[in-house]
Structure 1
Amino acid sequence: MNRVFVCSCFGVTEEQVKSHADAGACTPRQIASACKAGTDCGGCVRRIQALLGRGACPRRTLADQGAPALAELPEALPEAA
């Protein structure tokens, strides 16, 4: 198996970045939240941006349609105990 590493600092592969993107991560910041890639030296951020490209993003599509943010939905917030 030939692994192509995107982030040497955390050992994140190209396949892992693509997997997180398929799961809904649309930005380098969301990829960083999922696997830490891009949070140490930052040398891989441009490669992550290139992998994400300008493809369809479910979250971006919802935002473009004017869907409310999760924090704006009262049922999404935990009730006070």
Structure 2
Amino acid sequence: MFVCNCFGVTEAQVKKHAADGACTPRQIASACKAGTDCGSCVRRIQALLGRGAVPGRASADQGIPALAEARRREERLDEAA
């Protein structure tokens, strides 16, 4: 099922980016452009990234600094904007 019609991004692609560490709609946008054109898919992306689906949670439980990586990605996006 398509999440972002503007860029042809599917639900499976969003889930893959989330599994790879994208924790926010902004990080998903950085990975595949979803949500950067008309914005109508942002709420769907947020739903797919719901609290139970935060990809870094399991890593954090294992002592891996997932939040540090998320912050670095966020900073790169802010610098690019």
| TM-score of the two chains, using structure 2 as the length reference | 0.68
Higher-RCO chain (CA-CA 8 Å, sequence separation at least 6): 2
Q: State the Cα distance separating 1:57 from its structure 2 match.
A: 3.7
> What letter corresponds to residue 48 of structure 2 in structure 1?
L
Where do 5+ consecutive residues of structure 1 fail to align?
A: 71-81
Larger radius of gyration: 1
How many equivalent residue pairs? 63
More helix by share: 2
Contact 2:20 2:55 in 1 (8 A): no
Q: Could you say what the CA RMSD is over the residues aligned between the two structures, in angstroms?
A: 2.1
The answer to whether structure 1 residue 20 and structure 2 residue 1 are counterparts is no
The TM-score, its normalising length taken from structure 1, stands at 0.68
Paired with 1:49 and 1:33, the residues of 2 have a C-alpha distance of 14
Question: Quick one: distance in 1 between partners of 2:37 and 2:2?
Answer: 15
